[in-house]
Every structure is written in structure tokens, then in C-alpha cells.
């Protein structure tokens, strides 16, 4: 069994991301083999996986196995940028480039020079920044905001996403040329529910780690608790498992975790939990009726209605709407602004904007 952890993981006071990857399940072992085959190349890489599956850990392992291992590894979350500051953060700025720019500052590309730049949630980048990112990858140089002088860079880009970028390309939210530039070496991290062989080794790891952090004597899992862990679907993946073990240690008795100590919540719709296939008869009938009417701009009409309905179903919460549709929040916001839904909902009593 192989195991990867974040640097200085023992000094972390709490988990803010998936802090460990275990490779025991056959699906995980195949993943590790693929990472090890792709890592030595200089190709840009795209890591695809749900939230909490350990995308940053995979990116760090790619870096550590490459010839750039002695250089910096810089991890950046694209979803954390204010849209007005994306260019400055990535490519840097000169003094006076904008209000508040009191001194020149290197961007993340320059910071990662000679090493690897990990751009998490790449699907959240605005389209205008996607154009500039593509140019940087093609020209191997950056131009700071407020400057005209190009700065050569030597950076390997590893990007990650929890949305389907191919679908985003079709919907016009992600550039096709950038998608193919990033998709040279792709790595798909399977969710924890598809690699059950990793669940108990991960649970044992988190038991030991949190006992150490909490100053507890070693604890163990009962057989019933282990079966409960294996039966769970883990929608929150490794991060959810760590939180479940942490909570169980706080409430268990006699240093043994019992099934009742595990607070496991399944957020999937009941129809999916019961493995009952959805019957989209009503939807198909509605679409067929629209097709018969032969209305102009039919695709845009359907997409607009989809976004309006999903947004109101989520009570005006953009983040929940993005999760419901399986796309990024930036895409949701851009589409809602285009159809005027943000303004409309803001005037609706009891609807909260997020």
C-alpha cells in the first residue's frame, strides 16, 4: 500500500482539503501507476475529480516525480480570486497599474518559475482570463498588468477541476483551445465510493492522526463501525471521511469507535440513494412538445428556463445552484446575469442572494 500526505500534514490543526491519499484499492493502484507514467514528462496535466478526492496531492506527486522536483510547487485556487484581481494574481502587476498598487508584484506564474504551478478549479476562470492564460502557455512568457515588457517563464502547469470541462466547452463557458492545451495528460481521480478498498486504510490513518493531535491513547474501529464505513457512499470523499473519524473520536467510549459514533449524512436525492432510476417521461414529453412548435433559438430558451428554475429551486443561492447543475459558480453567475435573473430575484421577498 502506498500513501501520500501534504507537506507538514502533522502540523495542520484541521483538515481544509484532502490531506492524504491511500493507494490500496485496485482502482487507486491503477491511478498511481498512471501518475507515475505521466509525471516525468513536461506536458501540461489536467486532474479531474470531485471535491475532496485529493487533486492537490496528486499534483504534488506529479511535481515530486518530475525533473522540476527541486523547484517550487505553487498551489492556487482560481475560485478564490475576485474577478477584478485574477490577472494581477496570475501574471503580476507594476507599481501604479491600478488603485492600491503601491509597488510592483510578481504573479503566481513568476513565483512558480522553474517548478510547477497548480491551478485548482480552472473552470472558474473568466473567459477573458482564459484567453490570456492560453497565450502564456503558448508563448512561455507573462506580461505584468501595467507593463509591456514580457518576462520569460519556465513553468509546468497542472490544472484541476471538479466540473466537466468538455460540457463547459459545449456550453460556451470554457475555451476549446485552452481545453485541448490542458488535456495533453489527463488524470481522473475516482471518488471514494468507487475505491472501497481505500476506505478502511484511510480511516485507520485518520484514527491515528487525530488521536495524536488530540493527545488521546490509540483508538480502534469496531467491526460494526467498519462495515458502516464501507456501506456509506461518501459524497464528500476523503474530506468527509476525515471529519467523520474526528467526530467519532470525540464521542466514542473505551477508545473504540462504534456505529453510533459515526455521523454519516447522505446528501444525494432519495431516488439515487435507493438506486431507483429516474423516469424522465414528463421532461421528454415537454421537450417533444417544444420541438413540435419549432420555435427559434430553442436551445437558448431551454437553457434559460433550466437556469431560472434551478436558481429559484435553490432559493437564490448561486453556490447551491452550481452544485445542483454540476458546474462552477462563475458560470452560474454569468448566465444569471445574462438572462437578468439576478436583478429579478433580488426584488423577490425572502430570496437570498449568495
> Taking the domains of the chain in order of start, what are their residue ranges?
39-190, 293-346
How far, in Å, CA of 6 to CA of 247, rounded? 21
Kindly report the CATH number that applies to the domain delimited by 39-190: 3.40.50.300
Residue 23: per-residue pLDDT: 86
Q: Which residues contact 72 (CB under 8 A, 6 or more apart)?
A: 111, 112, 113, 114, 115, 116
Residue 277: per-residue pLDDT: 43
123 with 325: CB under 8 angstroms? no
Residue 6: per-residue pLDDT: 58
Residue 226: per-residue pLDDT: 95
Residue 266: per-residue pLDDT: 66
3-state SS of the chain: helix, strand, coil percent to 5?
50, 15, 35
Q: Which residues contact 297 (CB under 8 A, 6 or more apart)?
A: none
Residue 347: per-residue pLDDT: 41
DSSP assigned state of 278: P
Fold for the domain defined by 293-346 = Arc Repressor Mutant, subunit A (1.10.10)
Kindly report the CA angle at 196 between 193 and 199, in degrees rounded to 5?
A: 100
Residue 349: per-residue pLDDT: 39
Residues of the chain with pLDDT under 70: 1-19, 266-282, 285, 343-354
Amino acid at each position: 500500500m502506498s500513501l501520500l500526505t501534504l507537506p507538514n500534514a502533522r502540523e495542520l490543526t484541521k483538515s481544509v482539503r484532502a490531506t492524504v491519499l491511500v493507494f490500496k484499492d485496485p482502482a487507486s493502484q491503477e491511478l498511481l501507476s498512471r501518475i507515475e507514467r505521466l509525471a516525468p514528462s513536461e506536458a501540461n496535466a489536467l486532474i479531474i475529480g470531485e471535491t475532496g478526492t485529493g487533486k492537490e496531492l496528486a499534483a504534488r506527486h506529479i511535481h515530486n516525480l518530475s525533473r522540476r522536483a527541486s523547484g517550487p510547487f505553487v498551489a492556487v485556487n482560481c475560485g478564490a480570486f475576485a474577478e477584478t484581481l485574477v490577472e494581477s494574481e496570475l501574471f503580476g502587476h507594476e507599481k501604479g497599474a491600478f488603485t492600491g498598487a503601491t509597488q510592483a508584484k510578481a504573479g503566481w506564474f513568476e513565483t512558480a518559475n522553474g517548478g510547477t504551478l497548480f491551478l485548482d478549479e480552472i473552470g472558474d476562470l473568466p473567459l477573458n482570463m482564459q484567453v490570456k492564460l492560453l497565450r502564456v502557455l503558448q508563448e512561455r512568457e507573462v506580461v505584468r498588468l501595467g507593463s509591456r515588457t514580457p518576462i520569460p517563464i519556465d513553468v509546468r502547469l497542472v490544472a484541476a477541476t471538479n466540473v466537466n470541462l468538455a460540457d463547459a466547452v459545449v456550453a460556451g463557458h470554457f475555451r476549446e483551445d485552452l481545453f485541448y492545451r490542458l488535456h495533453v495528460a489527463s488524470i481522473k481521480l475516482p471518488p471514494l465510493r468507487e475505491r472501497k478498498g481505500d476506505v478502511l486504510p484511510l480511516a485507520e490513518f485518520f484514527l491515528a492522526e487525530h488521536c495524536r493531535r488530540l493527545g488521546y491513547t490509540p483508538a480502534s474501529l469496531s467491526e460494526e463501525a467498519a462495515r458502516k464505513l464501507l456501506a456509506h457512499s461518501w459524497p464528500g470523499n476523503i474530506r468527509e471521511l476525515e471529519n467523520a473519524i474526528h467526530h467519532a473520536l470525540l464521542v466514542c467510549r473505551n477508545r473504540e469507535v462504534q456505529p453510533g459514533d459515526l455521523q454519516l449524512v447522505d446528501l444525494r436525492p432519495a431516488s439515487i440513494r435507493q438506486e431507483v432510476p429516474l423516469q424522465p417521461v414528463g421532461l421528454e414529453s415537454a421537450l417533444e412538445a417544444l420541438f413540435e412548435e419549432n420555435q427559434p433559438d430553442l436551445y437558448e430558451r431551454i437553457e434559460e428556463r433550466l437556469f431560472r428554475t434551478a436558481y429559484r429551486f435553490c432559493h437564490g443561492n448561486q453556490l447551491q445552484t452550481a452544485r445542483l447543475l454540476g458546474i462552477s459558480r462563475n458560470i452560474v453567475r454569468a448566465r444569471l446575469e445574462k438572462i437578468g435573473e439576478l436583478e429579478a430575484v433580488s426584488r423577490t421577498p425572502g430570496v437570498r442572494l449568495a
